[in-house]
A and B are shown apart, each in its own frame.
Chain A
């Protein structure tokens, strides 16, 4: 059974720092992996999708990597800003269903 873990559960860093969020999964047989952002009391916004054949995807200050063999993905955020404060969730497409991590709550201090 696929399991997805995100560590740490919470992270607080000063504005301007580069940071890495981690996502690990137990079964490497995946179709893709998706990173989402969730603001308090709001829905989910898709940030990046990495297909199983890809190693990384970039969008602006965000870069997501995928290493299927080790069961890991990272989300790199460059030059963090207070507006990046949110909960970040990763979801693995396994057997045509999304299996979710519990998220990392990120706080960027001005």
Chain B
């Protein structure tokens, strides 16, 4: 299994509070991704990173920010959590892009906003 951990694994928070989720990898892969998964939807990309301090928005980036100060860590922040951000969040990594591009996933964080 790829060395990807996410913390916390479960979190319950109140509307309006800030929340930070952490993804940590031991593979030294360049690319890291944050997705959310909701019932009836496939995974949807929130933000991704293609290097230290290099990040870009995905399909559903509103209300989320990210930071990557080290190769191994990619943080996802909800500045002011809303109930619509209740979801399961997955981090993924990949070594390269192109035809051999393959993503590996962390175990997920279940976030509930009350």
Q: Which residues of A are interface residues toward B (Cβ below 8 A)? A: 4, 31-32, 34, 36, 42-46, 49, 51-53, 89, 91, 93, 96-103
When distances are taken between beta carbons in the complex, the residues of chain A under 8 Å from B45 are 97-98
A103 to B41, CA, bound (A): 8
When distances are taken between beta carbons in the complex, the residues of chain B under 8 Å from A52 are 99
A91 to B42, CA, bound (A): 9
A42 engages B42 (CB within 8 Å): no
Among B40, B101, B107, contact of A32 (Cβ-Cβ < 8 Å): B101
Q: Which residues of B are interface residues toward A (Cβ below 8 A)? A: 40-45, 48, 58, 90, 97-108
Among A43, A46, A93, A102, contact of B42 (Cβ-Cβ < 8 Å): A102
Take A31-B99, A51-B99, A96-B97 as given contacts and tell me if A44 and B90 are in contact as well, using a CB distance cutoff of 8 Å.
yes
A98 engages B103 (CB within 8 Å): yes
When distances are taken between beta carbons in the complex, the residues of chain A under 8 Å from B48 are 97
A46 to B45, CA, bound (A): 17
B41 engages A32 (CB within 8 Å): no
B108 engages A42 (CB within 8 Å): yes
| Distance (whole angstroms) from the CB of B103 to the closest CB of chain A | 6
Residue of A nearest to B58 (CB): A97
Between A and B, 12 residue pairs with Cβ closer than 8 Å are: A4-B42, A32-B101, A34-B102, A44-B105, A46-B103, A46-B104, A89-B42, A89-B43, A91-B43, A96-B101, A101-B42, A102-B42
